[in-house]
Amino acid sequence: MTIRTEPWRTTAGGERPLAVPRHWDLIGAPTGRLLMDLASAREALAAGRNSESAQISTRLLALLPGRRAAAVAAADADGTQQVDVIHACVLTVLGRAIEAAEPDQAQVRFAAAVAIFDRLVAGGAELKPAELVDHGTALARLDRLDEAFEAVVTALEALAAVPVDTIIRIVLTLRERHDLARAERLLQLAIDVEEDDPRLAQRLAETRLLDDRPEQAAAAYVRAGTHFGAGGQPGEALHCFEQAIGLSHDPVDAMMGRSFALADLAGPQVALEAIESVRDSHPELEVARAFQAQLLADLGRVEEALALLDSGLTMSPVDPVLMAARVRVLVTTGRRAEALDTVDEALVAWPGDVELRRLRARILRQSGRSAEALGVLQELLAEEVADLDDRVEMILTMVDLGRPVTALAETDHALLFTPDSADLLACRSMILLRLDRFRDALDAATRAVGLDHDHVMALSAQAQALLRLDRHDEARKPLGELLRLVPDSPEIRHTLGGLLLDGARYDDAEQLAVEGLRIHPGEPSLLLLQGKVRVLVGRFQDAVVVLERAERGLAKAGGPAAAVTDVQAHLGEALRRLGRDREALVHLDRALEAGPDNAFALGTKGQVLRASDKVEAERHLRRALELDSTLNWAHTELGELLRAEGRLAEALESYTAATDLAPQDAWAWGCRGATEYTLTRDDEAAASLARAIDLNDTYAWAWAVKGALLMDQDELADCLLALGRAVQLDPTIGWAWTIRGWAEELLGMREDARRSFRSALAAGGGGAWAEIGMADLLLQDGMPAQAEQRFRTILKAMSPRDALELAQAGWCHLRLDECRQAARNFGEALLLDDSMHSVRFDLALALLGTGPVERAVEAYEEAVTRLREVPSPGRRRAVLRIAAHDLPTVLTQPAYRETDQRSLTVLQRLLQPDGSAEPNGAGR
């Protein structure tokens, strides 16, 4: 016999069956897990997260048949019954979750649930309160109201919370049947359990009114109105209070409530009129006096408010309500010391008064005495008289005291009891921000905002978290909301303005600053925002004006170092753009003194230094990029610096970083294209320049570089078009005119070429090449004397220092028939830059003028051989075209007159396009 053993059930000591939990199912999860999931589904439903609840329920429903089958197979009657109960409850929860979207499907679920419940009850099963609630709910949905009533009442008597809509559904049916007694009983029971839900009190009031008991109805309306008001529904509250006023003989509470509601709905002035009418009829009401004083203070009539309270205090010197009101008014006006004296005085008379102690704690915190404030709040908590606001205050006080971890623990503890408190969630978010847990902070803030769209702290935390997560676009929304809620906050305006600037919404940002400055004239942060906008839109002089105002404002107020740095850095930038480099440096140095690691200031200083000290400029730019690698303009600037130094590979790296960061930056693409062109990476250069022109088709320099590239690619017609566009956009780009002149000369358009060279010289940027072009045309036109004079003038003005200038000098000597000197210049140019293929042909041409012809032919052959190394066919064609053009052009010169035809034929064959210079040497 083979005994099958299961290795996971054995131990070293031998085979031993493991203890299996009683409700262990086939899949391996205990029933407790099902109950937990059911609780989660109920919780989601209670929080209004219906789809989440439906998802959980659906998942549970899929698991239940298997589990039931397992229980049946194990002959586990209790287990089977428990699964059935869970099944019925899940069906009810699911029905409620989908009720709004799929009412028919919901009815099916309720019917199925009731069927199971009925079977269980008939089988003698005793349902627990929560199960009774589900049973009653399902029955109510099927209009089996008597049974539903019984089930729900039993549940309420066991203090189980019943969904308010279930209660209301039963109550409405009972009212239709004129069974007002049972309706009132049900509502009273429900209010005992869910005392804060104003809808129950409202239905109670209506029921009592039907029962013709107006005074009691009015009391219920007042209760409903109070809860509506406390729950942030002043409109509903006002309706209830007005109902109560209409029903009661002495509706003082309702009138008070109406005043409160009006304060929220219509502002302090309307509320003041309402409360004054209350006080007219009930002058003894100190609560009304206190509220009136508060409204006066809100309207800026502080002294009247204090006089009103003082007159009340004359009659009742230690009335805690009046004293608390006095304290609030004083706090509103910033008179904290006086407020603290008042509250301390009141506490002598009323040492245990919670409101006074609460006020004391807040004043202490506002006065920077957070440790004392925390002590007071902890006492309130220990005495179990603290409310949620006190708890929030205590948490914020802990944060003030630099104890964010303790504050977080306290917040999480509080959230266990009130998971849907927007205040607590906002607190949690703010604390998490302090702890650099930005993603968690964002989650908490988003939940808080979901619960209360106008929660300032939550919106602020959400915005900050998004900013710290570099999700700037998304941060704009909460900041916009904040601005709506707190329109006079300069900080919010400044932050939002910064985000608008990031999004290139300059007009909106300026508008924001202007509006803010109307509220706070001279506010440095708003002036800074305005200055930044003006720098970005190119209004540099205007920028200097506002930034200097900001600078003065900060100096006067002793503003924070970060603000000083920002203002000074932007002043530096504005002055740099005005060409006032020396002044710019002064401000940039000040910026760096206040904030040595400010990347913007470092980068801008690097830009300024480029003109005077390249080493320092590079150091500053590199440091700026170390600190903030996202400064695309600094990458471009560094690229330009490196390109000017001939460090092309490094320059290209910088430009690539810039274009990666800012793909819409035409300037960076243009510089990148120019560098790629210089590195003879023609395809890449063409793509980059096309991108630059695509982004900004008035970018003259990019058009000009494109023209140069096309010239080098032997695309002369397109070259003329590109250069034409360049000089049309900016006629001062002299070298573009010069290249255009060459292209025209090569195409035989001598008159156009002459005009182009002349324009180049007029533009002042044509350099020696334009002069040489003009002199060359004179020689071609048969005016050797004038040409010689011109060439001599060029040489006289020239002191060749690099390969390019040597090549220019070489060409002048060649055209002056000084071929040996020309050859020497070309040779020296090649020593400095071996990649100048055209110059190698010039050298060969010069050697042809010095003899022997064999050496010249050898030099031409070498030039052609080296040209084969050039991968671009276009570039090879262009060089050959120029060489082929030059050879017959110089033949009229004395030095070349003896060149024999046979040699010329050899050379002409060498210079055939797509022949000898092809890499495979097809033409040779």
Partner 1 sequence: MPWSMLQGRVEALRLNLERARDLSVRELALDHVPLEEGVWDAAFDAIRSDSVSRLWELEQLSTGIDRSPHPLHQRVAWQKLAAIQEQSEDIFRECLELMGGLTFRERDLDNQICTFADELINECARSVGRMLTTIAIPAHNGGRHAGARHIAHVQFPEWDVWTLPLVTFEYGQVAITDRPEIDAFARKSAIDVHHGLGADQDVIEERIRALLSDAFATYTLGPAYACALMLLRLDFVAPDPDCREFVAQRVAMVRGILARIADGDVADLHDKLGKHWDQALHLVLGTDPGAADPLERLALDPATVFDTFNWFFLPQAAYAVDDWDTAVQWGSRWCKELRDPKLSPAVPAVAPINRLRDALNASWYARIHEPAWVTEGADVTRELCQQIIDIRGRTRRPPGVELPGAIRPDP
Positions that interact with partner 1 (CB under 8 A): 536, 577, 607, 610, 633, 636-637, 640, 643-646, 648, 665-667, 670-671, 674, 677-678, 696, 699-702, 704-705, 708, 735-736, 738-739, 765, 767, 769, 800-806, 820-821, 823-824, 826-828, 830-833, 835, 843, 850, 852, 855
Buried b (16+ CB within 10 A) or exposed e, 204-215: bbbbbbebebbe
CB 688 within 8 A of CB 855: no
Q: Is the dihedral of CA 390, 394, 399, 404 positive or negative?
A: negative
CA 834 to chain centre: 51
Chain-centre distance for alpha carbon 97: 35
Strand residues in 52-145 grouped as ranges (E): none
Q: Helix 180-193 to helix 145-157 angle, to the nearest 10 degrees?
A: 40
**Separation of first and last alpha carbons in the chain:** 94
569 versus 843: smaller Cβ distance to partner 1: 843
Enumerate the β-bridge partners of residue 11.
Answer: 14
Nearest distance, CB of residue 828 and partner 1, angstroms: 5
Closer Cβ to partner 1, 530 or 636, answer by number: 636
- For residue 666, the minimal CB distance to partner 1 (Å) is 5
- C-beta closer to partner 1: residue 466 or 689: 689
* Whether 641 contacts 653, CB under 8 Å: no
Minimum CB distance to partner 1, residue 807 (Å)? 9
Q: Least CB distance from residue 165 to partner 1, whole Å?
A: 58
The minimum distance between CB 875 and partner 1, in angstroms, equals 12
Nearer to partner 1, 134 or 818 (CB): 818
Tell me the sheet residues that pair with 15: 10
User: To the nearest whole angstrom, how small is the minimum distance from the Cβ of residue 736 to partner 1?
Assistant: 8
Nearer to partner 1, 42 or 643 (CB): 643
Report the residue number, 279 or 877, with the smaller CB distance to partner 1: 877
Least distance to partner 1 from the beta carbon of 48, Å?
A: 46
Nearer to partner 1 among residue 74 and residue 804 (C-beta): 804
Minimum distance of partner 1 from residue 901's CB (angstroms): 23
How many residues comprise the chain? 924
Angle in degrees, CA 873, 878, 879, rounded to 5: 100
Which tokens go with 422?
A: 């927007």
Residue of 95, 119, 89 lying closest to 107 (CA atoms) = 95
Instruction: Identify which of residues 174 and 689 has a Cβ nearer to partner 1 in the complex.
Output: 689
Find the helix packing angle between 472-485 and 490-502, rounded to 10°.
150
Q: Which of 520, 534, 453 is nearest to 492 (CA)?
A: 520
| Short-list 609, 911, 219, CA closest to 204 | 219
Residue pair 777/753 in contact by the 8 Å Cβ criterion: yes
CB of 902 to partner 1, least distance (A): 21
DSSP H/E element including 14: strand 14-15
Smallest separation (angstroms) from partner 1 to the CB of 361: 51
Nearest approach in angstroms of CB 231 to partner 1 is 50
Q: Which is nearer to partner 1, 383 or 833 (CB)?
A: 833
Angle made by CA atoms 690, 693, 695, in degrees to the nearest 5: 110
Peptide bond into 784 cis (omega under 30): no
> Which uninterrupted H or E stretch holds 613?
none
Contact indicator for 658, 639 with CB cutoff of 8 Å: yes
Q: Which C-beta is closer to partner 1: that of 363 or that of 819?
A: 819
Q: CB-wise, 489 or 636, nearer to partner 1?
A: 636
Nearer to partner 1, 336 or 643 (CB): 643
Q: Is 334 left (phi over 0), alpha (psi -120 to 50) or beta?
A: left
Taking alpha carbons only, the member of 833, 855, 835, 837 closest to residue 846 is 855
For residue 723, the minimal CB distance to partner 1 (Å) is: 11
Q: Look up tokens 């010249």; give the residue.
A: 856
Structure-block tokens of residue 783: 């005016």
Reading the block at residue 356, the tokens are 């006074």
**Which one, 359 or 631, has the nearer CB to partner 1?**
631
* 14 phi, psi to nearest 5 deg: 125, -175
Residue pair 201/208 in contact (Cβ under 8 Å)? The answer is: no
426 versus 704: smaller Cβ distance to partner 1: 704
Eight-class DSSP state of 598: -
3 state SS of 10? strand
Q: Which lies closer to partner 1 via its Cβ, residue 100 or residue 649? A: 649
Task: Name which of 71 and 806 has its Cβ closer to partner 1.
Answer: 806
Torsion of CA 895, 897, 898, 903, to 10 degrees: 100
User: Whole-angstrom Cα distance, residue 343 to residue 323?
Assistant: 7
Cβ nearer to partner 1, comparing 84 with 776: 776
- Written as one letter, the residue type at 885 is H
For partner 1, the closer CB: 433 or 736: 736
Q: What angle do CA 695, 698, 702 make, to 5 degrees?
A: 75
Three-state DSSP state, 267: coil
> d(Cα 342, Cα 154) in Å, to the nearest integer?
52
Minimum Å gap between C-beta 364 and partner 1 is: 50
Name the residue type at position 188: Q
Closest distance between partner 1 and the C-beta of residue 802, in Å? 5
Q: At what angle do helices 819-832 and 803-815 cross, to 10 degrees?
A: 160
Q: How far is the CB of 731 from partner 1 (least distance, A)?
A: 15
